[in-house]
Structure 1
Amino acid sequence: MRTHRLALLGSTVVLAVGGSLAGAPSASAAAAEPYCNYISDTARPTVRPDDEGNAVRQVQCLINVYSAYPTWLEVDGDYGPATAQGIYWVQTCNGTTGGADGIVGPSTWSRLYSPKPACAL
């Protein structure tokens, strides 16, 4: 899994150096598409500590692919302590509405898909 993050970073650098490609999706969107498809991009249920399932997998995957969170999360669908730390990091870095409460609601979902530049890879 770590190689996917490196591949994403390499794609971003190539696009930054070579310019954008007409009609091509952003490097982040292109890299996440095959990996973060546990739920629809428009299905954004509230995710809380101790939840399990595909929505948690989506959160874990998005943290791995889009954010600059320094620890790779296992995409296992279990909202445990490691996932909580990743969510708190995303919420704190992005300044989400409601603060760092560990609950993935609309503001956190938005920043998982579109992190602030300082919080992204």
Structure 2
Amino acid sequence: MTTNVKEVFSDLDAGIFENKIGVALSEVAQGVLKHRQKGSVTIEINLEAMNEMQVMLSHKLKFSKPTSRGKSSEEDTTHTPMYVGRGGKLSLQLEDQGQLFGKDGKVVNLSSAVN
């Protein structure tokens, strides 16, 4: 099983990152057409281990748009913790939370429920 890229991008920064990409693409496209110069949009994602089941994704959006006197650029970095499931699949929620209640109805040891 692999990571669902559309789902992950919609989860980054609670969906705000996806909106920022849309705004950046639109602004750069407008500047490129208006000033007939190249523009760029760059997405950078870094992952760092948090614990045995999670990684922290640092997602950076950089863009540069042409203006009448040169160019304008912005850079924005945010972070989103994600779970790593089977095969390295990234998701906002645990893929399998295991058995949370025993046959007697009591809560089982949560650390063993996740494994």
TM normalised by structure 1 equals 0.28
Q: Which structure shows the bigger proportion of residues in helix conformation?
A: 1
Q: Which structure shows the bigger proportion of residues in strand conformation?
A: 2
- Greater Rg over alpha carbons, structure: 2
